[in-house]
Amino acid sequence: MNGQVKRAFRYRFYPSEVQAAELSRTFGCVRKVYNLALQARAEAWTRGERVGYEATSALLTVWKRTEELAFLAEVSAVPLQQALRHLQTAFGNFWAKRARFPRFKSRKKSRASAEYTRSAFRWRDGVLTLAKMAEPLDIRWSRPLPEGVVPSTVTVSRDAAGRWFVSLLCEDPSVTPLPVTDAVVCIDVGLDHLLVLSSGEKIGNPRHERRDRERLARAQRALCRKQKGSNNRAKARVRVARLHARIADRRTDFLHKVTTRLVRENQTLVIEDLAVSNMVGNHRLARAINDAGWRQFRQQLEYKAGWHGRDVIVIDRWFPSSKLCSACGALAAAMPLHLRTWTCGCGTTHDRDVNAARNILAAGLAASVCGAGVRPQRNTPGGQSVTKQKTLRREL
């Protein structure tokens, strides 16, 4: 694995007025090319035809020669080509049934970004200069890059709060497998406690959004009072975006610390397959689930485990972990929601969450040995078991 892991290093930078104008123009051209190519491919799709990357690349040359779209030739061609490649990837995911049909990019809602490959930037002694720019970017190096590496791809972006970021994709030789250990842990996510481990440890839910909810509500009310199209409304929108960015940064930092510790301490990690996208459709749970960051937690856990030679086992979401006795295997007929501890007929007293984590651990290890998944239970229209949804409501 040494030297084979590609890792993105993200930094803030502060562009000059000329650089900011050039990048903003590039973002707009990238969005325009993506939407034009998507429209051409969607029209071909309705006719039963498939238009690939090569055809849209040829169309890009034609668009640049038209009077209406001549401005596309004023920016670097590489980010425009990369937008077409990203669209090709989106269609590939759609055909493989991993994603929905690609959607058009909105100027207000879509992420403003542009991707540069090696032919469109210059990297010398830690100084980065993008194509069409005379001066290098003023980057704040919050952490050093691995010694001797050269970025293969540079992605420049601007978030809703007006902050500028540059992401450098490099091969990181420092990412190596960790020493093999016998430690195995099951992780059960929740809202009262963010994580409950099979060892009995409970990691509290920081509830980052709730800490700033009052301040966020005041900022949103102030935004609503501003006249649409005014400068004051634009300033109020940035204030709201900065609060959201602050909440997201705290959440990401906390999850990075938790997932890094779990991967370092355990060889095998067992988690439950939760349909988070379906669960947030429940308006009583959506705010708390999004604040907990379950999907982000799983993503971090899986890619860090892959980096360091750890195993992540995912069991079926319908496994009755709460009602199953982890000592004798008896299945309780009913499990009232107010019971956080219960006693099985065998005499064992269980903490509800810890017992569920231990059952998930046993099911995950059994599935890994026999090579099969855990038997699914009855599905519900919401994409999650009735017991799980009711339990979450109570934790709220």
- Catalytic sites, residue numbers: 188, 272, 353
Spell out the residues 6+ positions from residue 215 whose beta carbon is closer than 8 angstroms to its own: 243
Running DSSP on this structure, what letter comes out for residue 125? T
Integer Cα distance of 282 and 273 in angstroms: 18
Q: What ranges make up the beta strands (E) of the chain?
A: 6-12, 112-117, 121-124, 127-130, 153-158, 164-171, 184-189, 193-197, 202-204, 268-272, 311-315, 341-343, 349-351
Asked if residue 258 lies in contact with residue 174, where contact means CB atoms within 8 angstroms, the answer is no
Burial of 329 (0-12, 13-18, 19+ CB in 10 A): exposed
Integer Cα distance of 102 and 32 in angstroms: 15
Integer Cα distance of 193 and 258 in angstroms: 13
Asked if residue 128 lies in contact with residue 137, where contact means CB atoms within 8 angstroms, the answer is yes
Integer Cα distance of 361 and 198 in angstroms: 7
Count of residues making up the chain: 396
